[in-house]
């Protein structure tokens, strides 16, 4: 494809002198990936400034270099633009053949529940006979190819490339987790969503967005991008659930456990082995059973069922598919211990998700009637939202019987400084302790457990590393539980 053709499709004026026009061989915002015939986008990111690598990109053969800053480079054509991220998204879409218009794209956004909801939707679709891909926090499933995830929502170049591969593989649907940062940074700009799902909104990424209102407005970008032919599915129990879709031109559909909605659960039953609840659809009552545990998973199931109902998948099929669905890696994963206690590995790393995890564990302990305790082990990540740290400390100490405050991914922060901020929110005195070493913290939780107890290990979930001073060291909560399980006597 010629550069002039791409720019014309993006409605941009460009000097179409044949000496400057060229066949585009690829696009990149990493100068190391540039080859002859490439377009290089010199993007100023949160960690690196692409403008520092313009000479490298030119040296690697870039035919066109685009930046928001004034610069000169004798060996490459240059272009200054106002919003480079939006332009990169538009050019990526054109270069890869506008793939989001050729596949049914389902976006899932919200603070908590995006991953499980996405996996559930994909599972329902696949069991109904559709080919479905997935882009999210754990991995990118492109049909026959699965790639470990680097970002919940990749940048626009990778996104359009992956969607293009799905189109070539004749995939019918792509289910995508859509983060607020991706929305604010125009990573998903120009994508054509067939449905968008809103799960909930609680404090997270405030270090990036500044306040909750900006965080909300970032999430709303996804809903506002929908056309009149699309579906907007939202949680009416969440305080932002109605507001986020009130102005959309898309078809609106609400789900809930408490407030009135199009799909509402009732008769909920929660045990360590799963959840069970009833719904009413088209005048009939149906019972949904799942191996997923925790009240928050009822919301995830409702969000997923609400989505696939928009594609005329019948309830009987959903019932069978849900019954066969296994827990998502790192999401409330249960490990039985020899002494009758259970360790639960969960990704909950926000104040609200930690509260939900502890509340769910408490409901399960009460249902089990074994007089069990909740032992919560958690920390907070470094160089990210600090506001949540004392809040999470308060939730853990108030809602758990005992808490062990430990290290998560401290990144470039001092682990004990993070722990001290967590402790600043704790009002109790005798039901927590600090063990900075995460391995030792998990060991202690297992050693002190007894029959009926739940050891809730939160924050890392599916992650198999601990990031300290920029180095990712192997660390897997599940492996550590397995290593010390014999200590549960």
Question: Angle between the 351-368 and 388-399 helix axes, to the nearest 10 degrees?
Answer: 10
Rg (CA), the chain: 24
What does each of the 489 residues of the chain score in pLDDT, given as a tens digit?
Answer: 888 888 888 866 554 454 478 899 999 999 999 999 999 999 988 778 989 999 999 999 999 999 998 876 666 778 888 899 999 999 999 999 999 999 999 999 999 999 999 999 999 999 999 999 999 988 898 887 888 877 778 899 999 999 999 999 999 999 999 999 999 999 999 999 999 999 999 867 667 777 889 999 999 999 999 999 999 999 999 999 999 999 999 999 999 999 999 999 999 999 889 999 999 999 999 999 999 998 999 999 999 999 999 999 999 999 999 999 999 998 999 999 999 999 999 999 989 899 999 999 999 999 888 999 999 999 999 988 888 999 999 999 999 999 999 999 999 999 999 999 999 999 988 999 999 999 999 999 999 999 999 999 999 999 999 999 989 999 999 999 999 999 988
pLDDT for res 13 = 58
Query: Residue 27 in contact with residue 157, Cβ under 8 Å?
Result: yes
What does the pLDDT look like over 185-207, one tens digit per residue?
A: 999 999 999 999 999 998 676 67
Q: What is the pLDDT of residues 129-167, one digit of tens each?
A: 999 999 998 889 888 788 887 777 889 999 999 999 999
Beta bridge partners of 253: 233
CA 436 – CA 439 distance, rounded (Å): 9
Predicted local confidence at residue 18, as pLDDT: 47
CATH top-level class of 333-487: alpha beta
Kindly list the domain boundaries of the chain, sorted by start residue: 3-95, 99-324, 333-487
Q: What tokens does 416 get?
A: 């004990």
Place of tokens 């899932």: 108
pLDDT for residue 211: 87
Among 348, 344, 378, 350, CA closest to 362: 344
Sheet holding 231-235, edge to edge: 146-148, 139-141, 132-135, 173-177, 104-109, 193-198, 231-235, 251-256, 263-271, 274-281, 284-290
User: Any idea which fold 99-324 has?
Assistant: 3.40.1190
The Cα 145–Cα 166 span in angstroms is 10
Same CATH topology for 3-95 and 333-487: the answer is no
Q: Is 345 helix (H, G, I), strand (E, B) or coil?
A: strand
User: Residue 6 in contact with residue 87, Cβ under 8 Å?
Assistant: no
Instruction: Count Cβ atoms below 10 Å from residue 489 Cβ, excluding itself.
Output: 10
Of 203, 208, 197, give the one whose Cα is nearest residue 300: 197
Whether 86 contacts 189, CB under 8 Å: yes
The two structure tokens encoding residue 131: 């080919």
pTM score of the predicted model: 0.91
Q: Between the CA of residue 202 and those of 120, 210, 299, 349, 355, what are the distances in Å?
A: 22, 14, 15, 12, 11
pLDDT at 70: 80
What CATH code is assigned to 3-95?
3.40.1390.10
Give the angle subtended at the CA of 341 by the CAs of 340 and 344, to the nearest 5°. Answer: 140
Question: What pLDDT shows up at residue 16?
Answer: 46
Q: Rounded CA gap, 8 and 332, in Å?
A: 49
Q: What does the pLDDT read at residue 290?
A: 97
Closest of 175, 103, 107, 99 to residue 139, by C-alpha: 175
């Amino acid at each position: 494809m010629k550069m002039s053709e791409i720019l014309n499709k993006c409605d941009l004026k460009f000097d179409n002198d044949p000496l400057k026009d060229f066949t585009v061989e690829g696009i990149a915002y990493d100068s190391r990936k540039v080859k002859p015939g490439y377009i290089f986008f010199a993007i100023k990111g949160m960690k690196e400034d692409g403008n520092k690598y313009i000479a490298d990109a030119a040296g690697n053969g870039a035919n066109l270099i685009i930046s928001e800053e004034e610069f000169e480079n004798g060996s490459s054509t240059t272009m200054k633009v106002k919003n480079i991220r939006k332009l990169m998204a538009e050019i990526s879409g054109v270069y890869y053949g506008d793939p989001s218009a050729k596949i049914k794209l389902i976006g899932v956004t919200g603070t908590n529940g995006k991953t499980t909801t996405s996996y559930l939707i994909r599972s329902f679709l696949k069991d109904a006979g559709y080919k479905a891909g997935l882009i999210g926090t754990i991995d990118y499933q492109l049909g026959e190819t699965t790639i470990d995830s680097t970002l919940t929502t990749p940048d626009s170049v990778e996104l359009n490339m992956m969607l293009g591969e799905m189109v070539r593989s004749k995939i019918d649907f792509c289910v995508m987790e859509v983060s607020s940062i991706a929305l604010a940074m125009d990573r998903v700009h120009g994508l054509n969503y067939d449905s968008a799902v809103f799960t909930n909104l609680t404090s997270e990424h405030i270090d990036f967005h500044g306040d909750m209102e900006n965080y909300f407005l970032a999430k709303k970008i996804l809903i506002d991008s929908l056309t009149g032919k699309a579906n907007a599915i939202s949680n009416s129990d969440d305080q932002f659930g109605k507001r986020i879709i009130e102005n959309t031109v898309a078809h609106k559909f609400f789900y809930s456990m408490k407030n009135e909605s199009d799909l509402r659960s009732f008769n909920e039953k929660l045990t360590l082995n799963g959840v069970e609840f009833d719904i009413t659809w088209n005048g009939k009552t149906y019972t949904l059973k799942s191996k997923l545990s925790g009240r928050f998973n009822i919301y995830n199931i409702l969000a997923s069922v609400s989505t696939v109902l928009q594609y005329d998948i019948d309830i009987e099929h959903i019932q069978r598919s849900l019954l066969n669905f296994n827990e998502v890696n790192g999401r409330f994963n249960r490990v039985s211990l020899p002494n009758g206690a259970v360790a639960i590995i969960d990704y909950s790393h926000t104040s609200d998700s930690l509260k939900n995890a502890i509340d769910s564990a408490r409901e399960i302990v009460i249902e089990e009637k074994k007089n069990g305790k909740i032992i919560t082990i958690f920390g907070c990540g470094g160089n990210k939202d600090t506001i949540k740290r004392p809040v999470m400390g308060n939730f853990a100490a108030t809602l758990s019987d005992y808490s062990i405050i430990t290290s998560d991914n401290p990144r470039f922060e001092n682990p004990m400084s993070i722990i001290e901020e967590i402790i600043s929110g704790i009002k109790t005195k005798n039901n927590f302790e600090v063990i900075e070493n995460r391995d030792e913290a998990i060991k202690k939780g297992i050693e002190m457990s007894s029959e009926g107890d739940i050891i809730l290990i939160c924050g890392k979930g599916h992650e198999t590393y601990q990031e300290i001073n920029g180095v990712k060291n192997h660390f897997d909560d599940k492996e550590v539980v397995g290593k010390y399980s014999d200590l549960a006597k």
